Chains A and B, each alone.
Chain A
Amino acid sequence: MADTLIQGLMPGRGAEFGDTIFESFDTLGVVEDENLLTLNLGPQHPSTHGVFRMVMQLQGETVIAATPVMGYLHRSSEKLGEARTYNHGTVLTDRMDYLSPITTNWAYALSIERLTGLVVPERAEYLRVITGELSRIQSHLVAVGTFGMDVGTYGTPLLYALREREAVLDLLSLPTGVRMNPSYIRYGGVARDAPPEFFPQLERFLRIFPSKIDEYEAVLAGNEVFRNRTVGVGMIPPEVARAYSVTGPILRASGIEYDVRRAEPYSIYDRFDWDVPVHYNGDCFDRYMVRLEEMRQSTRILQQALESIPEGDIRAKMGKVLRPPKGEAYARIEGPKGEIGFYLISDGTVNPYRYNCRPPSFVNLTCLAQIAVGHKLADAVVILGSFDIVMGEVDR
């Protein structure tokens, strides 16, 4: 076994200092061939959505092999989580999916609640759903806007999407107090109650927003160039999506109706009336359409939550320091990118014994190399854009 591994890449051995292995292609399994062009896409490239690198071999303009390389943003969140208390661990989850931190907070809080048996008050559950769905809208807006950039629309859809994202961020900053990294959902409830002016503002937003979604659809989905670039590009057949553990909008664009909010309802999602949008071609265009549909469904959920939110506590009764009983728990939620899971082990002390996150972008990337092969280089960029990855989450 050991001799099949490249010596320098064995963990625990360590390469010699000065061996800049990142620069040499042979360790990435790239074969030198004078007929092929080896191209580094990234790590610093606007289309890679962060510090992500793809080593691609091209014949003419066709991709014949692709190797994803990651880890440039690794901050050892999981090791840090083991050295901090349960409360401090929430802050680390903000930095994973920085486009929708509240959903990652939620997965972490849910895992602790499963570990300790804390019961969350009703009003806190509603506030979680409201802020969680607003974060999903916010994340999908960035996904849709930057996807337009990848296809080559020169900024218009991005600016349209960011305009609404600003409105969502302003709304979110009322209960959370900040625009980014809110650490809003904590174990046992939420950090703060929403101020009274939040609800009329949310209502006004929900009145305007559906027409804005129609606007994105009119700008991009009706555009002939956009359709030519995305329809039939980067097809993921349902059996491939199943085999590669794909989740989120990518899975639902491949015709599999699977949403953790439906499959294993957490919080109060079973009380609302909403649909799981499914498209059947599995190409980049369908992934884009599923995201638009999901924003419409989020609006529906928000409308219902806004009408029925009760008064009451926002935090469960608990001590200042949390010492969960010995045990372990895995809790999962449906984030904007897919299934976010948290696996925690408690040994009865104030620190988690094991703090492990299932990042949806990381697992979704597994099938990227297989999907990109056979496409033109420009299409590979479109496929990566349609995956909607966040490097903070991939590298943790």
Chain B
Amino acid sequence: MQRVLDAIPDSSWQWRHGYAEIKVPSARILDAARSLKDAGFDYLSFITEVDWQDRLELVYHLFAYDYRSQPLGVILRADLPRVDLPQVASVTPVWPGAEFLEREAFEMMGISFLGHPDLRRILLPDDFVGFPMRRDFETDFEYITVKQLVHESD
């Protein structure tokens, strides 16, 4: 664990629920991902994006397919500025399985992943406006009512 931390400047770590929680600057996320994968954490379980009102945060949960290793898992975190489409490096070169999870973060929280092979919407309709998982999102009731569908069939 210390070896991984030495490879990434400006990082800090602590324990949380039995997992090692590492905080890195957002510019270092790809370096951190590479060195953690080399350290044996080859299973990217989940990417969560959190809106803390003053900043956005990405939370990666990493585990090892060889589950006898220690520690059991790693939580990798990075802060992003709270603007429209803040840019961060995609981890798809390290874990291709991040593709759909990053697409979801892109449309739900408005985070732009540089180097993603196919950054498009995934769950919402394409004329949807706004980032729904941000805390200040307000539902457009005109949009979600059936009126729109009636209009289209005319």
> Which residues of A are at the interface with B, using a C-beta cutoff of 8 A?
1-2, 5-6, 8-19, 21-22, 27, 29, 70-71, 74, 76, 78-79, 114, 242-246, 256, 258, 262-264, 328-330, 332, 339, 341, 343, 345, 354, 356, 358, 362-363, 365-367, 395-396
5 smallest beta-carbon distances between A and B, as pairs: A245-B97, A263-B67, A14-B129, A71-B123, A21-B126
Q: Which residues of B contact A246 (CB under 8 A)?
A: 97
Q: Which single residue of chain B is at the shortest CB-CB distance from A258?
A: B65
Q: Contacts A11-B110, A12-B110, A13-B129 given; 19 further ones with Cβ under 8 A?
A: A5-B119, A5-B120, A8-B127, A9-B126, A11-B107, A14-B128, A14-B129, A17-B148, A22-B125, A70-B122, A71-B122, A243-B96, A245-B44, A258-B43, A263-B72, A330-B61, A341-B46, A343-B59, A343-B61
Q: How far is the CA of A17 from the CA of B125 in the complex (A)?
A: 12
Whether A365 contacts B100 by the Cβ 8 Å rule is yes
Q: Which residues of B contact A18 (CB under 8 A)?
A: 152
Whether A71 contacts B124 by the Cβ 8 Å rule is yes
Whether B101 contacts A363 by the Cβ 8 Å rule is yes
Whether A17 contacts B123 by the Cβ 8 Å rule is no
Q: Which residues of B contact A362 (CB under 8 A)?
A: 100
Q: How far is the CA of A21 from the CA of B128 in the complex (A)?
A: 12
Q: Which single residue of chain B is at the shortest CB-CB distance from A343?
A: B48
Whether B97 contacts A363 by the Cβ 8 Å rule is yes
Whether A11 contacts B43 by the Cβ 8 Å rule is no
- 10 CB contacts below 8 A, A to B, read A8-B127, A16-B127, A21-B127, A70-B123, A78-B108, A114-B17, A244-B97, A341-B45, A341-B46, A396-B123
Q: Of B75, B112, B121, B124, which one neighbours A1 at CB under 8 angstroms?
A: B112
* Binary contact track B92-117/A, C-beta < 8 Å → 1, others 0: 00011111110000111010101000
User: A309 CB to closest chain B CB, in angstroms?
Assistant: 28
Whether A264 contacts B124 by the Cβ 8 Å rule is no
| Chain B: interface residue total (CB-CB under 8 A) | 52
User: A270 CB to closest chain B CB, in angstroms?
Assistant: 13
Q: How far is the CA of A284 from the CA of B130 in the complex (A)?
A: 40
Whether A17 contacts B127 by the Cβ 8 Å rule is yes
Greatest chain B CB density within 10 A among A10, A242, A258, A264 is at A10
* B132: Cβ under 8 A from any A Cβ: yes
Whether A366 contacts B96 by the Cβ 8 Å rule is yes
Q: Which single residue of chain A is at the shortest CB-CB distance from B137?
A: A79
User: A48 CB to closest chain B CB, in angstroms?
Assistant: 16
Q: Of A12, A17, A329, which one neighbours B130 at CB under 8 angstroms?
A: A12
> Which residues of B are at the interface with A, using a C-beta cutoff of 8 A?
16-17, 19, 42-46, 48, 50, 59, 61, 63, 65, 67, 72-73, 75, 84-85, 87, 95-101, 106-108, 110, 112, 114, 118-133, 148, 152
Q: Which residues of B contact A70 (CB under 8 A)?
A: 122-123
Q: How far is the CA of A16 from the CA of B127 in the complex (A)?
A: 7
Q: Which single residue of chain B is at the shortest CB-CB distance from A115?
A: B17
Q: Which single residue of chain B is at the shortest CB-CB distance from A358?
A: B46
User: A89 CB to closest chain B CB, in angstroms?
Assistant: 15
Q: Which residues of A contact B114 (CB under 8 A)?
A: 1
Q: Which residues of A contact B72 (CB under 8 A)?
A: 263-264
Q: Which residues of B contact A330 (CB under 8 A)?
A: 17, 19, 46, 61, 75
Q: Which residues of B contact A2 (CB under 8 A)?
A: 85
User: B13 CB to closest chain A CB, in angstroms?
Assistant: 16
Q: Of A12, A79, A244, A341, which one neighbours B85 at CB under 8 angstroms?
A: A12
Given contacts A341-B45, A363-B100, contact A258 B126 (CB under 8 A): no
Greatest chain B CB density within 10 A among A12, A18, A339, A365 is at A12
Q: Which residues of B contact A27 (CB under 8 A)?
A: 120, 126
Given contacts A12-B85, A264-B72, A362-B100, contact A245 B43 (CB under 8 A): yes
Given contacts A12-B84, A12-B131, contact A339 B45 (CB under 8 A): yes
Whether A256 contacts B65 by the Cβ 8 Å rule is yes
User: A4 CB to closest chain B CB, in angstroms?
Assistant: 8
Q: Which single residue of chain A is at the shortest CB-CB distance from B44?
A: A245
Q: Which residues of A contact B84 (CB under 8 A)?
A: 12
Q: Which residues of A contact B112 (CB under 8 A)?
A: 1
User: A373 CB to closest chain B CB, in angstroms?
Assistant: 14
Q: Of A1, A79, A345, which one neighbours B132 at CB under 8 angstroms?
A: A79
Q: How far is the CA of A126 from the CA of B114 in the complex (A)?
A: 47
Whether B67 contacts A258 by the Cβ 8 Å rule is yes
Whether B97 contacts A264 by the Cβ 8 Å rule is no
User: A307 CB to closest chain B CB, in angstroms?
Assistant: 28
Q: Which residues of B contact A6 (CB under 8 A)?
A: 120
User: B22 CB to closest chain A CB, in angstroms?
Assistant: 14
Q: How far is the CA of A356 from the CA of B131 in the complex (A)?
A: 15
Q: Which single residue of chain B is at the shortest CB-CB distance from A329?
A: B17
Q: How far is the CA of A70 from the CA of B59 in the complex (A)?
A: 24
Whether B128 contacts A242 by the Cβ 8 Å rule is no
